[in-house]
């Protein structure tokens, strides 16, 4: 059992897959000698050389498109967007090309590529470097979307992402890079579409994504002090989305709160809430509540950014509201 940071876990997963499979290579802006803007690819250039850890120009369409083409030609590229916000300039290559090629071609090709991108607010990076965009990606058939919260999940999900034969959008929360956690020595690939019950409870189900898992666990402690026993579930991948685990939990707790850092409107929480309502509305004793960011761009100034980012207190408030 080793203590590792989220970033080290990602770095380990990349290194191990590159050692295991010569078809795996990394492309992206400043991923080489520089080690990646946040440092995720540190040391890989020295170990694998420029051929396998390749700096690109600032050319997001070509980065995503080249990864797509290389994957269609049999490689397993891992491309990095420095910030997920930059997907805007390369979206066509992801959602019209990579995501759809297999289907459009009648199943006659695979696109085994990973697009890694940090998302999330909290470092004063403002509106174009802080968004959480998982709902954009989960809306597109053909893409898989992973968003690990812990070092162990970061490691295990990235192994799976690289080995998957489909295009995977791998969303890392930039505030989590320095978070430490236990990664067992025998840790391995974690299958997609398997939610993790982070805390068992009986009174309310809190489904939380990415960094909000920590807020949900904190909220659960606060609620416990108030006599409310919350169950916290991290879906870990929003596409595929493990609704079975969520539904089983809600059948038990009869109450649901969904929390994510993305803007609440049209977010992943809306999808989860809707599916629960469609499937098991009779089990619900309370209304469903969503906790998410307000419908504004991510602001810059610390008090504004703090006001934007949802936290444990918002989850507590939501639970108390539906139970009142």
Partner 1 sequence: MTISKKKMIEMYTTMYRIRQFESKLQEFFAASKIPGFVHLYLGEEAVAAGACAALNKEDYITSTHRGHGHLIAKGGDLKLMMAEIFGKSTGYCKGKGGSMHIADVDLGILGANGIVGGGGPIATGAGMAIQYRGEDRVAVCFFGDGASNQGTTQEALNLASAWELPVVFVNENNGYGISCPISKSMAITDIADRAAGYDMPGVIVDGNDVTAVYEAITAAVARARKGEGPSLVECKTYRWRGHFEGDACTYREKDEVDEWIKKDPIPRCAQKMLDEGILTEKELDALHAKIDTELQEAITFAEESPLPEPADLFEDVYA
Positions marked active-site: 60, 129
Among 19, 46, 165, 306, binds partner 1 (CB under 8 A): 165
Q: Could you tell me the CA-to-CA distances from 302 to 69, 126, 245, 305, 306 in Å, in that order?
A: 41, 10, 37, 5, 6
At residue 72, φ and ψ (nearest 5 deg) are: -60, -30
Q: CA angle, 15 as apex, 11 and 17 as ends, to 5°?
A: 120
Burial call 151-167: b when 16+ CB within 10 Å, e when fewer: bbbbbbbbbbbbbbebb
The binding track of 120-159 with respect to partner 1, each residue x by CB under 8 A or -, is ---------------------xx-x---------------
The one segment of 74-82, 147-155, 259-267, 289-297 that binds partner 1 by CB under 8 A = 74-82
Q: How far, in whole angstroms, is CA 200 from its chain's centroid?
A: 22
The one segment of 29-37, 87-95, 130-138, 219-227 that binds partner 1 by CB under 8 A = 87-95
Structure tokens at 267: 């977010």
User: Is 194 a binder of partner 1 (CB under 8 A)?
Assistant: no
Edge-to-edge strands, sheet with 230-234: 196-199, 230-234, 204-208, 256-263, 289-293
Instruction: Yes or no: say if 208 and 216 are a contact pair by the CB < 8 Å rule.
Output: yes
- Number of residues engaging partner 1 in binding (CB under 8 A): 43
Among 26, 31, 71, 316, binds partner 1 (CB under 8 A): 71
Among 108, 278, 282, 303, binds partner 1 (CB under 8 A): 108
Among 32, 35, 36, 77, binds partner 1 (CB under 8 A): 77
Give the footprint of partner 1 on this chain (CB under 8 A): 25, 27, 51, 56-57, 59, 61-62, 64-75, 77, 89, 92-93, 96-97, 101-110, 112, 141-142, 144, 164-166
């Amino acid at each position: 059992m080793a203590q590792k940071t989220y970033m080290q876990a990602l770095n380990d997963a990349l290194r191990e897959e590159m050692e295991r499979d010569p078809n795996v290579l990394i492309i992206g802006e400043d991923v080489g000698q520089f080690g990646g803007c946040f440092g995720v690819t540190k040391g890989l250039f020295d170990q694998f050389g420029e051929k396998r850890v390749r700096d690109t120009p600032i050319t997001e369409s070509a980065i995503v498109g080249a990864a797509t083409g290389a994957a269609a030609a049999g490689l397993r590229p891992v491309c990095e967007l420095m910030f997920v916000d930059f997907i805007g300039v390369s979206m066509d290559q992801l959602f019209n090309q990579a995501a759809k090629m297999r289907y459009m071609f009648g199943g006659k090709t695979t696109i085994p590529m990973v697009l890694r991108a940090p998302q999330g607010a909290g470092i004063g990076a403002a509106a174009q470097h802080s968004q959480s965009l998982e709902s954009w990606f989960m809306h597109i058939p053909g893409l898989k979307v992973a968003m690990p919260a812990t070092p162990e999940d970061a490691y295990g999900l990235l192994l799976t992402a690289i080995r998957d034969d489909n295009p995977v959008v791998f969303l890392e929360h930039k505030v989590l890079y320095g978070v430490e956690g236990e990664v067992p020595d025998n840790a391995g690939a974690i299958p997609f579409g398997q939610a993790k019950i982070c805390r068992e409870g009986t009174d309310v189900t809190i489904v939380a994504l990415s960094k909000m898992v920590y807020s949900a666990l904190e909220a659960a402690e606060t609620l416990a002090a108030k006599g409310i026993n919350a169950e916290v579930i991290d879906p870990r991948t929003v596409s595929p989305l493990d609704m079975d685990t969520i539904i089983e939990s809600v059948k038990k707790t009869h109450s649901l709160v969904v929390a994510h850092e993305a803007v609440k409107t049209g977010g992943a929480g809306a999808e989860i809430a809707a599916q629960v309502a469609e499937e098991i509305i009779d089990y619900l004793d309370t209304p469903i509540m969503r906790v998410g960011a307000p419908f504004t761009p991510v602001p810059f100034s610390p008090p504004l950014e703090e006001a934007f980012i949802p936290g444990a207190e918002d989850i507590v408030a939501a639970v108390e509201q539906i139970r009142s």
